[in-house]
A = this chain, B = another copy of it.
Amino acid sequence: MEVTRTNFKDSLSTVYSAIEEADFLAIDGEFSGISDGPNVSALTNGLDTPEERYMKLKKHSMDFLLFQFGLCTFTYDQAESKYVIKTFNFYIFPKPFNRTSPDTKFICQSSSIDFLASQGFDFNKVFRHGIPYLNQEEEVQLREQYEERRSQSNGSGNPSYISPNSNKGPGSIPEEHREYIGRVDNVDLLSYRFPKGLHVETLETEKKERYIQISKVDDEERKRRERQKQEREQEELNDAVGFSRVIHAISKSGKLVVGHNMLLDVMHTIHQFYCVLPEYLLYCFLRLLDTKLMATTQPFKELINITSLAELQKQLKESPFKSPKVVTAEGFPSYDTAQEQLHEAGYDAFITGLCFISMANYLGTAFYTVCMKRYNATLTSRVFARLFLMRIIDIPYLNISGPDLQPKRDHVLYVTFPKEWKTSDLYQLFSAFGNIQVSWIDDTSAFVSLSQTDQVQIAMNTSRYAESYRIQTYAEYVQGRQQVRESQGHSTQSWDEDGWVKPHYTSPSTVGAGPTGYSYGHNRYTPFTL
């Protein structure tokens, strides 16, 4: 079902009941771009910590716009052993709500736009009919604006003059009005009372010219008009909050939310529809499960070769997996997996849900029970709240319910050298120590991974008297960086004002608190267990 600004209000009850009756939800987002600045994974070539990756995405990817949000609700019909699905394709656009509302700017990345264009993506639908939204802070501000206006009213309407939040910040008052507002500041305009029995209202002509209408009314009529006005204001407020209401409903439902490689989707969802992203994403208002992480973890890791969504879905049709029986709810347009409609958010959400069911079924009843029932939040977040990290070579996920994995990087050296050096110079330098892998950091430094950890000390000894280059162990490098950050005043403060994040405890001293059985180089990731 396609939802735009045009039919959003009428569709909302359908959306709410679909969420309410669902056993789980699948989501997907389409963005105006993926990464601003240098390739997020390029610089350290897969040696980011989860925290660093999160910070990079926060810094370089949040200025893009999530402009299509796909939601597919899955409800199990026990009697017929089938899933009934409802798919929604929401088009999103931050249309300025009124004169004073924020004029959002967002970045477009040509390659992303070109890719979506080649898939037939309808940009006109986004920009002409996209549903607006507000984050919580903007919603509160707007509500306060309405309340302030109401309290300034003398009970018989409200004067056209609205006190601005700030009467001097540059830009907050249109230039041409500033002098006027400066002058009236001292005049107690607002305490001026219109005589009782007069109804005063600011109205707008079709040409957006504002005028004041003063009419003589009796007390009852006045109250009726007031009520009408308040209802209208409440509706305006709801319209402005717009798509964020759907996210609030998902969050309140406590339902499991499934996505494929969903870190960016989750970050954008929080950023656009909730609030400024916290410094660390350690706890989230959604119960999340990432099918890409699931597919790259035991036992699926051995059974599945390619984990891109389209390929995963194909492989999960074949033995030992089974496609679930799925029917589209009446009144909803159905998708045919044979006619791929990839990169339409609703379709992607749909097949993400299919992938999840196939993998969940493979794991058996116990898993199914966990997934389908509402759960104690602590347990749930332990099981689910791990998001797949693309292209980090030895940490598969960002753990948003506990400390991140601390990979063993004993075999990694941090090397600094003159800027004339090339990869070949590094190969030559380390030629005595077996195979190496070079990960460039910048012009004068790189990580060099040795294949044998016992060579590390020898390499360190060799470099002791070197003048043109310098070698540190990975541990020394991390410690040095930590000191630099602390001297710059970066504390490890947690961001938990509204209960979103838990205290930050990924300091080096908590190594070992993470899952056990995890070490680099042997591919022994923690299996995806309960």
User: What is A's interface to B at a CB cutoff of 8 Å?
Assistant: 32-33, 36, 38-39, 41-43, 45-46, 65, 93-96, 103-111, 113-114, 116-118, 122-124, 126-128, 167-171, 175, 178-179, 181-183, 185-186, 391, 422-424, 426-427, 437-438, 440-443
Contact = CB atoms under 8 A, between A and B. Distances in A.
A67 to B, nearest CB: 10
B168 A443 contact: yes
Nearest to A102: B110
Contact of A113 (B41, B127, B179): B127
Contact of A95 (B110, B182, B183, B422): B110
B111 A33 contact: no
Given A185-B423, A391-B175, A109 B103 contact: yes
Most buried by B among A38, A126, A168: A168
A38 B175 CA distance: 12
| A-B pairs, 10 with minimum CB distance | A182-B423, A123-B123, A117-B128, A104-B110, A117-B127, A42-B171, A103-B111, A38-B171, A94-B110, A185-B424
A422 B114 CA distance: 49
Contacts of A422: 167-168, 182, 185
A434 B95 CA distance: 44
Contacts of A175: 39, 41-42, 45-46, 391
Contacts of A178: 45, 423, 438, 440
A179 B175 CA distance: 57
A175 B391 CA distance: 10
A57 to B, nearest CB: 16
A110 B123 contact: no
Nearest to A96: B111
B105 A107 contact: yes
A310 to B, nearest CB: 14
Contacts of A117: 124, 127-128
Contacts of A126: 123
A179 B39 contact: no
Contacts of A167: 422-423
A30 to B, nearest CB: 13
A437 B179 contact: yes
With most chain B CB atoms within 10 A of its CB, the pick from A32, A107, A113, A185 is A113
Contacts of A94: 110
A39 B171 contact: yes
Contacts of A106: 107-108, 110
A499 to B, nearest CB: 31
Contacts of A169: 443
Given A96-B111, A116-B127, 10 more contacts: A32-B108, A38-B171, A46-B175, A94-B110, A103-B110, A107-B107, A123-B123, A123-B126, A170-B440, A170-B441
Nearest to A32: B108
Contact of A96 (B45, B96, B110, B438): B110
B36 A105 contact: yes
A150 to B, nearest CB: 25
A159 to B, nearest CB: 20
Contact of A110 (B105, B170, B441): B105
A442 B43 contact: no
A38 B96 CA distance: 16
Contact of A123 (B118, B124, B181, B441): B124
Q: Which of A41, A42, A437 has its CB near the most chain B CB atoms (within 10 A)? A: A42
12 contacts: A36-B105, A42-B171, A95-B114, A105-B110, A106-B110, A123-B123, A123-B126, A167-B423, A179-B438, A182-B423, A182-B424, A182-B426
A276 B124 CA distance: 31
A328 B36 CA distance: 45
Contacts of A95: 110, 114
B170 A38 contact: yes
A168 B32 CA distance: 29
Contacts of A186: 424
A124 B126 CA distance: 10
Contacts of A104: 109-110
A92 to B, nearest CB: 11
A213 B41 CA distance: 34
B114 A123 contact: no
Contacts of A113: 93, 127
